């Protein structure tokens, strides 16, 4: 045997293929590991960024009272003025609201939203004081008179409130009956809105 040993071409090719295989295997494992790390990071980011709603709620029951209004023809001082007449629909809803956050929630407004023939109409809820006045003006609705839900309430962490509030739509009964949708938007200060839809039929009074 010669002192100067030379590998055959076949041996060189096998060695090269071995090195190439080991290099390819290393790249595959590195890619797989990187993919797993990225997937874990994305999952952590999504879970960390996902927060439950600050509030939950329920529309327990909804009533409407269509009526035709005609003014007396006298102003606040008892002076004669032109009479006016119009149609309106009084909407009442008993609602439950729960503060699910660790901070107080300030309610700024509660909107009743409906889609009519001329577009979406949103109306702000009446105040707790106006709620009582409605039943003085419409004694036939006494059965609906319960604890008022304030559309300007402040809820402490974990607090639950339950009550009835109202809205007035200047629409005729025919227009109201032709509506295509009805839901309620609870608007909070510095927080996302909560939109709730009734799950029971709207009852007419």
pLDDT digits (tens), the chain, 205 positions: 444 444 444 444 555 455 555 556 666 666 666 565 545 544 443 344 556 789 999 999 999 999 987 766 666 677 777 777 889 999 999 999 999 999 999 999 999 999 999 999 999 999 999 999 999 999 999 999 999 999 999 999 999 999 999 999 999 999 999 999 999 999 999 999 999 999 999 999 8
| DSSP per-residue string spanning 2-43 | -SS----HHHHHHHHHHHHHHHHHHHHHHHHHHHHHHHHHHH
Nearest in space to 84 (alpha carbons), one of 96, 73, 99, 98: 73
Nearest in space to 89 (alpha carbons), one of 72, 73, 118, 112: 112
pTM (two decimals):
0.71
Q: Are 166 and 125 in contact (CB under 8 A)?
A: yes
Report the 10 Å Cβ neighbour count for 72: 10
């Amino acid at each position: 045997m010669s002192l100067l040993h030379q590998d055959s071409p076949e041996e060189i090719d096998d060695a090269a293929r071995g090195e190439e295989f080991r290099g390819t295997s290393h790249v595959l494992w590195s890619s797989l590991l990187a993919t797993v790390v990225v997937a874990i990071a994305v999952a952590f980011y999504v879970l960390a960024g996902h927060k439950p709603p600050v509030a939950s709620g329920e529309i327990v029951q909804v009533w409407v009272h269509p009526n035709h209004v005609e003014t007396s023809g006298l102003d606040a001082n008892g002076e004669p003025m032109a009479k006016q007449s119009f149609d309106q629909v009084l909407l009442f809803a008993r609602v439950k609201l729960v503060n699910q956050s660790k901070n107080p929630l300030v309610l700024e407004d509660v909107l009743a939203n409906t889609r009519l023939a001329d577009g979406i109409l949103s109306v702000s809820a009446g105040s707790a004081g106006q709620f009582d006045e409605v039943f003085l003006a419409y004694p036939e609705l006494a059965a609906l008179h319960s604890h008022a839900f304030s559309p300007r309430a402040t809820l402490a962490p974990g607090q639950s409130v339950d009550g009835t509030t109202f809205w007035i739509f200047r629409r005729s009964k025919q227009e109201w009956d032709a509506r295509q949708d009805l839901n309620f938007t609870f608007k909070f200060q510095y927080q996302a809105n909560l939109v709730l839809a009734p799950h029971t039929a709207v009852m007419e009074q």
